[in-house]
Amino acid sequence: MQTPIISAKASAGLGLRRGLIKDLQAAPAGHFDFLEVAPENWIGIGGAQGAALRALAERYPLSCHGLSLSLGGPSPLDVGFLQQVRVFLDHYNVPLYSEHLSYCSDDGHLYDLLPLPFTEEAVHHVAARIRQAQDILGRRLAVENVSYYAAPQQDMDEVTFTNAVLREADCDLLLDVNNVYVNSINHGFDPHEFLAGIDSNRVVAMHIAGHFDESDTLKIDTHGASVKPAVWSLLAEAYARFGAHPTLLERDFNFPVFSELVAELQTIRRLQAEEVSRGQALVA
């Protein structure tokens, strides 16, 4: 199967959600550049939904973002599942596969992304599992910084832990800008310092999403609302630090009319274009 490769730089995408299939199929060229899928939700799917995936994959490149690998978990990695993912990635010529820097299973699926302790032991544990996953997949893996509400043992801060995992595993980072903002409010750190501390050579893509304001000191990462102004500002700062990388607008439920999602995609494009222009001006 021949599909175009996602640009290494400025592009904007949407998640392939079943509730959006009709809108995605009807969208004219230019509304979005790529689609992101969770491979475990699509491997082996047939019927009308399988046909829709195949048709959309002929029109748009796919990116893959996993939900159940449980990179930080105590149970052995599911090698059989990873082999299925590799076949899926190869079949659709997927350039980027990412997963969460968390865990979600222990002798059974826990149906949540649970935080890891920020300890040296956890760095070694998850880095070894990432290397194993990369060996099975035959490609680099990107891990995503996750939102978290409980904080297990923290011998180091989140950015130090993240960089340590990236370095020891020799993997990439999918930077979720909304998660940086949400965590900064919930755990009282400076999101600008977090961005400044991330190893810029590891960032390969970004996520942006909406969240729920439970209070001034508690934000819930929902993927069910529009992106907040403060998060748009943080995205612009991330582009300035790391470049205008491919960026996914995450919306998992509570879907608005499609034109509202297109308007948010246009905001991503505008911020990317501004960063590209700024970079060109600095070089000139």
Torsion on CA atoms 74, 174, 115, 158, rounded to nearest 10: 120
Residue 157 has pLDDT above 70, yes or no: yes
**Per-residue pLDDT at 7 exceeds 80:** no
pLDDT digits (tens, 9 = 90+) for 247-278: 999 999 999 999 999 999 999 999 999 998 88
Could you read off the pLDDT of 35-79 as tens digits, one per residue?
A: 999 999 999 999 999 999 999 999 999 999 999 888 988 889 999
| pLDDT given at position 1 | 33
CA dist., res. 56 & res. 42, Å (int): 13
pLDDT (tens digit per residue) in 87-132:
999 999 999 999 999 876 455 454 457 788 999 999 999 999 999 9
Give the whole-angstrom CA distance, residue 103 versus residue 101.
7
Statement: residue 29 has pLDDT above 50: yes
Percent of the chain scoring above 90 in pLDDT: 83
Rounded to the nearest integer, the mean pLDDT of the chain is 92
- Reported confidence tier of residue 3, pLDDT bands at 50, 70, 90: very low
pLDDT for 210-240, tens place per residue? 999 999 999 999 999 999 999 999 999 999 9
Q: Is the Cβ–Cβ distance between 182 and 211 less than 8 Å?
A: yes
What is the reported pTM? 0.94
